[in-house]
Structure 1
Amino acid sequence: MTDDIRNRIRTIIAEQAMLEPDQVTDEATPADLGIDSLGLVESIFALEEEFDISIPFNANEPEKSEFDISNMGTIIAAVERLVAEKGA
């Protein structure tokens, strides 16, 4: 299930960045992928819709957010955690 979630997240992020999913590495930051702040917000909305979760992200103050957006690995881990919590 975790690989499926990771692949779905990578696909969503890749679509936003107009890249192939295999180009979305754990180390890549949104900026590395060419995702600006608006694109990041759109990606978060897409992730929320895909997984039926609520991501605690404040676009106006991302540094104060409970959702770590520093790189794709942290985004994937946070979404996996939210999906697991939803299923519990």
Structure 2
Amino acid sequence: MSIQDRVIAIIAEQAVLDPADVTPDSTLEELGISSLGLVESIFAIEEEFDISIPFNANEPGSGDFDISSVAAIVSGIESLVARKG
């Protein structure tokens, strides 16, 4: 399973959606993910990939980690996994 597929599965679970309903172009807002759901998604993704995401729950728009869309999140995770590697 690709990184994108794994991330989509985690996000879909948080949004209580079918993974087929989550596209790379989806925003978390469109998927109905609250700020708490976002934090839970980040924790689940960190656990899944054994990485630490530079994300401040108090200021989700700040920092280097782009959460503007599913594709941006996948891209950021791919970069973190590659650096870990």
| TM-score category (smaller protein) | over 0.9
Equivalent in the alignment of 1:61:
59
Percentage of pairs with the same residue: 61
Question: What are the equivalent positions in structure 2 for 1:9-24 lying under 5 Å apart?
Answer: 9-24=7-22
Letter in 2 for 1:81: S
Count of equivalent residues:
85
Structure 1 segments (4+ residues) deviating >3 Å:
none
Structure 2 segments unaligned to the other structure (5+ residues): none
Distance in structure 1 (CA, Å) of the matches to 2:34 and 2:43: 14
1:9-43 deviation digits (Å, cap 9, x = unpaired):
11000000011112111111111001000000000
Distance in structure 2 (CA, Å) of the matches to 1:68 and 1:34: 18
TM-score by length of 1: 0.92
1:58-82 deviation digits (Å, cap 9, x = unpaired):
1111221211001101001001111
Distance in structure 2 (CA, Å) of the matches to 1:83 and 1:21: 22
Distance in structure 2 (CA, Å) of the matches to 1:51 and 1:10: 13
Normalized per residue, the structure richer in helix is 1
Structure 1 segments unaligned to the other structure (5+ residues): none
Distance in structure 1 (CA, Å) of the matches to 2:5 and 2:21: 12
